[in-house]
Amino acid sequence: MCRSHQCHIVPPHILEELAKRGNISCKKTLNDAHRILARRNSALNDLLIRDAIPGHGDRLVYDSENGYEQQVKLVRKEGEGPINDLAVNQAYDNSGFVRAYFKESFGLDSIDSKGLDIISNIHYGKDYNNAYWDGDEMTYGDGDGKEFTNFADAIDVVAHELMHGITQFLGNLEYRGQSGALNEHFSDVFGTVIKQKFLKQTLEEADWLIGDAIVTKEFPGVAIRSMKAPGTANEFDNQPDHMDNYYSGADDNQGVHVNSGIPNRAFYLCCQEIGLDDCALIWFETLKVLWRTANFFDTLKMLLTTANTLKEKKKVHDSAPEAVARSFFEVGLTLEVA
């Protein structure tokens, strides 16, 4: 979960590389992440143990007015019409689309399935190059206009970040090592699924990119990540697409944004065989039965169990279990390896 580790859409190594090339905003964004992390670590924020805050799944959008605080000025709440601020309306509309997708597809009542209000903070910081979920609310920077643009505008970014919240409540995957890479993976899965729904794309039309809408032409790449071809989205994209290239270093919480490329590619391959909706259902139902320290192998095992159960109930294609197994075999993960 992201209680003590904010779940940012732009991973630290990309900001570090851009900072090395002289982008001051990226350096400031990195520094601010460290500052908030320290504050969050001391301010207990564990949604799993604290008393539930009654909510109605309402959207509340706050304007940080380019400062570094959250919930500064409430500018639009559920049911109110658009205001004269694009980022406000984008955060409102995109979080509404994400909420509706999970409600209609899986009967989920907001992020925690108990009607948690969806809080968005926009215009966070000055030239702030990131967006994040930090355990109970969303925060979006405007981007510096050099490498990144307004983060609230990107449906996959909004879906990715809100999915961190859902994962926190459903699976609570620890944000380090393989469980952390899976946490990132589930956010990319529903980021891309919801993006394709939002854009009404077919599998063939989809680009399978994450964060293509938040990077400028000057950014050295086309997006933050690619699920179809991990490692190719930008000059700093270090994601492997196979277990042979698994990252076993300590950086990035032991590679949470790196090794997620492996299951991401498996998800892409599986979608090619049985379609987006069957895969989304199998993945979502699997997340519900995963546990805090689940690793890649555990997840494959549970995906196969779930696919078989759903197949018996005639909710997914008959070939779903084989498709899941084949897709993971392609990225170097098989049950026999146990």
The smaller minimum CB distance to Zn ion, of residues 9 and 280, is found at 9
257 catalytic residue (yes or no): yes
234 lines the binding site for Zn ion (CB under 5 A): no
Shortest distance, position 110 Cβ to Zn ion, whole Å: 19
Shortest distance, position 8 Cβ to Zn ion, whole Å: 7
| Stretch touching Zn ion by CB under 5 A, among 5-13, 49-57, 174-182, 324-332 | 5-13
Q: Which of 123, 147, 160, 161 is catalytic?
A: 161
Shortest distance, position 287 Cβ to Zn ion, whole Å: 15
Shortest distance, position 188 Cβ to Zn ion, whole Å: 8
Shortest distance, position 133 Cβ to Zn ion, whole Å: 8
What is the size of the binding site for Zn ion (CB under 5 A)? 3
7 lines the binding site for Zn ion (CB under 5 A): yes
The smaller minimum CB distance to Zn ion, of residues 10 and 75, is found at 10
161 catalytic residue (yes or no): yes
Q: What is the 3-state secondary structure (H, E, C) of the chain?
A: CCCCCCEECCCHHHHHHHHHCCCHHHHHHHHHHHHHHHHHHHCCCCCCCCCCCCCCCCEEEEECCCCCCCCCEEEEECCCCCCCCHHHHHHHHHHHHHHHHHHHHHCCCCCCCCCCCEEEEECCCCCCCCEEECCCCEEECCCCCCCECCHHHCHHHHHHHHHHHHHHHHCCCCCCHHHHHHHHHHHHHHHHHHHHHHCCCCCCCCCCEECHHHECCCCCECCCEECCCCCCCECCCCCCCCHHHCCCCCHHHHHCCCCCHHHHHHHHHHHHHHCHHHHHHHHHHHHHHCCCCCCHHHHHHHHHHHHHHHHHCCCCCCCHHHHHHHHHHHCCCCHHHC
Residues between 171 and 200 that touch Zn ion (CB under 5 A): 184, 187
Q: Which of 123, 160, 164, 257 is catalytic?
A: 257
| Stretch touching Zn ion by CB under 5 A, among 2-10, 32-40, 192-200, 292-300 | 2-10
The smaller minimum CB distance to Zn ion, of residues 187 and 196, is found at 187
The smaller minimum CB distance to Zn ion, of residues 174 and 184, is found at 184
Binding site for Zn ion (CB under 5 A): 7, 184, 187
Catalytically annotated residues: 161, 257
